[in-house]
Amino acid sequence: MSAHWHQRREAGGRFAIWLIRAAGLHAGRAFARAWLYPITLYFFFRRTRERRDSREFLDTALGRPAHAWDILRHIHSYAATILDRIYLLHDTTLDRFDVRVHGLEQIENEIAHGRGVLLLGAHFGSFEALRALSLRRPEVKLRVVMDLKQTRALNELLHALNPEVANNVIDAGVDPGALALSLHEAAQQGALIGLLADRARAGEATATVDFFGRAAQFPVAAYQIASMLDLPIVLGFGIYQGGNRYDLHFETLAASVKIARSERSGELQEWAQRFAARLEHYTRQSPYNWFNFYDFWHRPAQRAQPRSEPVAAAAD
Amino acid sequence: MSDQQTPAEHELASLIVSSLNLEHISAEQFAPEQPLFGAETGLDSIDALELALAVSKRYGFQLRSDNADNKRIFSSLRALAEHIQTHRAN
C-alpha cells in the first residue's frame, strides 16, 4: 500500500512543482497564490481518492462529519505550503513570512550539547519552514533524511532552488551500509538530522500505536538511531496558519534514549506511541495541516525484528 | 573462493552475532559470500549502523560514508572482513 501513495503523490507532483516554480519565483507569491483556488478546485473534483481520504481524516479530527468546505480548505492549505516551499528554500531571509517560534530554548538546549540532534517531523505542516532555525543558526547543519528515489521531482526542485540544502540531504534510498555511515558522520558533526517519523517506507519496521483513538502503524527506526548514536530527540513542526504565518513548534521528546537490544520491540513501541501522541496533539489543533492524503490507518504492519529467521534461512 | 570462513571472517561473524544480538544464527552459519544486508538476510540499515559502530569500537577505525567502494565493502562477510584487515588499527 505504501507503493500506492508514492505513485499517486509524485504523479501530480511533477506538474504542480513545475507550475509553482515557474509562476512562483517569477511572478511573485501573491500572483501565484491566486492560482491556488483553481488548483484546489481541480484537485477537489479530479482526485476523488484524495478527497475521500481527506474527508475520512477530517471526520476523525474535527469530531463531526466534514463538509465540502472543510475538504477544500484542507487541499488549499496543502497547496499553499507546497507553493511556500519555493520561498522557504530559495529566500535568504524569511522576511516575507510571519514566523513565530515556540520552544526555541528546548532545541537550542539540545544543540548546545554538540552531539547532534534528531529532529523528528511529520507530513504535517511544512518541514521546510523549520529552515528558519537554520538561518538563525547557520553553523548548525540541517541534514534531512529523504528517499531520493521516491521524491525525484521534489529533489530536482530542491537542487534548482537551493543546492546547499540539496547536498545536505541524506539519501535513505542507498544501500544500508552507506546510509548507516552517513547518519553516523552527521551525528559526529553535531548536525540536526531531520527525519519524518509518521510514514514507514516499504519493508521498514513499524509499531502499532494509538492515533486518534485508532490503531496506526508508525515507523520505529528513529528511536533505534537515537539510541545507538546517543542523540536527543526534538520534535519540530512548522504549522501553517494561513496567509503568510507559520508557527514553529520545537519540543524535546527525549534528552536521551536508551533502548536495550534485547527488549527492543516493547520500548520502540512506547517511543512511537509518545511521538504519535504529540503529533495527535498538534494535529487536533491544526487539522488542515495534516498532509497524509491516503488511508493512514490501514497500512500493513511490518515486524519490528524481522531478522532472526530470514538470516538462518539465508545461511542454510 | 571457499565457503569456509577464515579466522578473520569468523571473528567478524562473531561480532555481528553479538552486536546485533542475533539469536537464531551462530557465527559459524554465516556463509562468507552471502549478501550481508537486504531481503535475503533481513538485516537493514539500522543493523548496518549497529555493525558500523561495533566495527569502529573493536577494530579502531571508522568506515567512511564517502568511500566509493562501500557497496562492495558491505556486500558480504568476506568483503567486509578483507576491508577491515587492511585498515584496522588494532
Instruction: Grade residue A10 by pLDDT with cuts at 50, 70 and 90.
Output: low
CB contact under 8 A, B73 and A177: yes
Per-residue pLDDT of chain B (90 residues; tens, 9 = 90+): 567 899 999 999 999 999 988 887 889 988 899 888 877 777 888 888 999 999 999 998 888 888 888 888 888 999 999 999 998 886
Strand pairing category for A233-240 and A245-254:
antiparallel
| Closest CA–CA distance from residue A203 to any residue of chain B (Å) | 9
Q: What is the DSSP letter of A260?
A: -
Those residues with Cβ within 8 angstroms of residue A29's Cβ, 6 or more apart along the chain or in another chain:
A83, A84, A87, A96, A244
pLDDT greater at residue B52 or residue A202: B52
Cα dihedral across residues A193, A148, A32, A80: positive or negative? negative
Instruction: Grade residue A314 by pLDDT with cuts at 50, 70 and 90.
Output: very low
Could you give the ipTM of this predicted complex? 0.84
CA angle A215, A64, A236 (to 5 degrees): 55
pLDDT at A241 over 70: yes
Those residues with Cβ within 8 angstroms of residue A72's Cβ, 6 or more apart along the chain or in another chain:
A40, A41, A44
Q: Does A182 touch chain B (CB under 8 A)?
A: yes
pLDDT at A253: 97
Q: Which of B47, B49, B63 sits opposite A307 (nearest CB)?
A: B47
Single out the residue of A94, A104, A88, A108 nearest to residue A249, CA to CA.
Answer: A104
Instruction: Compare all CA atoms of chain A with the CA of B54 and give the residue at the minimum distance.
Output: A228
| C-alpha cell at position A255 | 534528552
| Closest CA–CA distance from residue B28 to any residue of chain A (Å) | 9
Which element (helix H / strand E) includes A288?
none
| C-alpha cell at position B15 | 561480532
pLDDT at A238: 97
pLDDT greater at residue A37 or residue A307: A37
pLDDT greater at residue A209 or residue B67: A209
Single out the residue of B70, B45, B71 nearest to residue A203, CA to CA.
Answer: B45
Name the average pLDDT for chain A. Answer: 86
| C-alpha cell at position A105 | 530554548
Single out the residue of A9, A69, A74 nearest to residue A283, CA to CA.
Answer: A74
Residues of A in contact with B49 (CB under 8 A): 179-180, 183-184, 224-225, 228-229
Q: Does B3 touch chain A (CB under 8 A)?
A: no
CB contact under 8 A, B74 and A176: yes
Instruction: Grade residue A265 by pLDDT with cuts at 50, 70 and 90.
Output: confident
pLDDT greater at residue A120 or residue A82: A120
| Closest CA–CA distance from residue B10 to any residue of chain A (Å) | 14
| Closest CA–CA distance from residue A145 to any residue of chain B (Å) | 13
Q: Quick check: helix, strand or coil at residue A230?
A: coil
Which element (helix H / strand E) includes A181?
helix A176-188
CA angle B51, B54, B60 (to 5 degrees): 130
Place of cell 557465527: B27
Instruction: Grade residue A308 by pLDDT with cuts at 50, 70 and 90.
Output: very low
Q: Does B59 touch chain A (CB under 8 A)?
A: no
- Written in H, E and C, the secondary structure of B1-66 is CCCCCCHHHHHHHHHHHHHCCCCCCCHHHCCCCCECCECCCCECHHHHHHHHHHHHHHHCCCCCCC
Single out the residue of A291, A221, A299 nearest to residue A80, CA to CA.
Answer: A291
pLDDT at A311 over 60: no
pLDDT at A303 over 70: no
Half-sphere exposure of A253 (CA within 13 A, CB side): 28
pLDDT at B22: 85
Backbone angles phi, psi at B43, to 5 degrees: -90, 130
Residue A280, judged by CB atoms within 10 A of its CB (0-12, 13-18, 19+), counts as middle
Cα dihedral across residues A213, A216, A220, A221: positive or negative? negative
Out of A10-24, A165-179, A186-200, which region has the weakest mean confidence (pLDDT)?
A10-24
Q: What is the DSSP letter of A115?
A: S
- Distance from chain centroid for Cα A253: 16
Q: At what angle do helices B7-19 and B45-59 cross, to 10 degrees?
A: 120
| C-alpha cell at position A263 | 527488549
Which of B9, B30, B45 is most worth mutating to test chain A (most A CB atoms within 10 A of its CB)? B45
Instruction: Grade residue A6 by pLDDT with cuts at 50, 70 and 90.
Output: very low
pLDDT greater at residue B37 or residue A309: B37
Instruction: Compare all CA atoms of chain B with the CA of A221 and give the residue at the minimum distance.
Output: B46
pLDDT at A12: 57
CB contact under 8 A, B45 and A314: no
CB contact under 8 A, B22 and A307: yes
pLDDT at A215 over 50: yes
Q: Which of A178, A185, A312 sits opposite B24 (nearest CB)?
A: A312
First to last CA, chain B: 26
pLDDT at A310 over 50: no
| C-alpha cell at position B67 | 568511500
Which element (helix H / strand E) includes A172?
none
Q: Quick check: helix, strand or coil at residue A51?
A: helix
Over residues A229-248, the mean pLDDT reads: 96
Q: Return the number of CB contacts < 8 Å for A and B.
A: 109
Single out the residue of A261, A304, A291 nearest to residue A77, CA to CA.
Answer: A291
The pTM score is: 0.87
Residues of A in contact with B42 (CB under 8 A): 306-311
Q: What is the DSSP letter of A118?
A: E
CB contact under 8 A, A177 and B48: yes
Q: Does A258 touch chain B (CB under 8 A)?
A: no
| Closest CA–CA distance from residue A22 to any residue of chain B (Å) | 35
